[in-house]
Amino acid sequence: MQVDPRGPRFGAAVTTAVLVAVLVTGSWALLAAQAVVFGFATFLGLRYAPYGLAFKVLIRPRLAPPRELEDAAAPRFAQGVGLAFALVGVAGYATGITWLGIGATAFALAAAFLNAVFGFCLGCEMYLLIRRFTAKDRSEREVPA
C-alpha cells in the first residue's frame, strides 16, 4: 500500500503534542490512549489509524496532490516501535516506576518530534536497516546453482 508521506508526518505532529502532554501531566491513561492509536496503525494499517483518518478527512482535501507516495511498510513499522515505547511507558507510570514511564515517553517523543519537524522518521530508518541486513544475510546463505 502506498501512502501520502504528509499523513504520517501529520500523525507525528499530533503524537508530539500528546506525548508532551503526557510528560507534563504524568498521565498513564493519556499514554495508554496514544498506545491504542499506535496499535491501530500497527495492526490495522495507517489508513485506519485515528490520526490517519483525521488527515484523510480534514487535511488532505485542502492540499495539492502529493508529489510522490511512499510504501506504508516503514511508517507502519515505526508505529509498532512507538507502540512498544508507549506500552513500556504505561507500565512504568502504572506501576510507580515513574522514571521508566518518563524515559520511554521521552524516547517516543524524540522520534515523533524528528518526524513532525524535520521529516526524519527514525522508525522508518530502523525498518530500512533491518531490511537491508536481513536481505544481505539471506543472499549470503543462498548457494549459487
pLDDT above 70 (res 63): yes
The H-assigned helical ranges of the chain are 6-25, 28-43, 50-54, 73-94, 98-118, 122-141
Q: Residue 140: which pLDDT band, with cuts at 50, 70 and 90?
A: low
pLDDT above 80 (res 32): yes
pLDDT above 70 (res 145): no
State residue 47's pLDDT score: 87
Q: Are 38 and 48 in contact (CB under 8 A)?
A: no
Rounded to the nearest integer, the mean pLDDT of the chain is 94
In sequence order, the 6+-apart residues with CB closer than 8 A to the CB of 10 are: 51, 54, 55, 59
| Residue that wins the pLDDT comparison between 135 and 39 | 39
pLDDT in tens, 67-80: 999 999 999 999 99
State residue 135's pLDDT score: 83
pTM of the entire structure? 0.90
What amino acid occupies position 92?
A: G
| Residue that wins the pLDDT comparison between 34 and 47 | 34
Lowest mean pLDDT among 74-88, 89-103, 123-137: 123-137
State residue 23's pLDDT score: 98
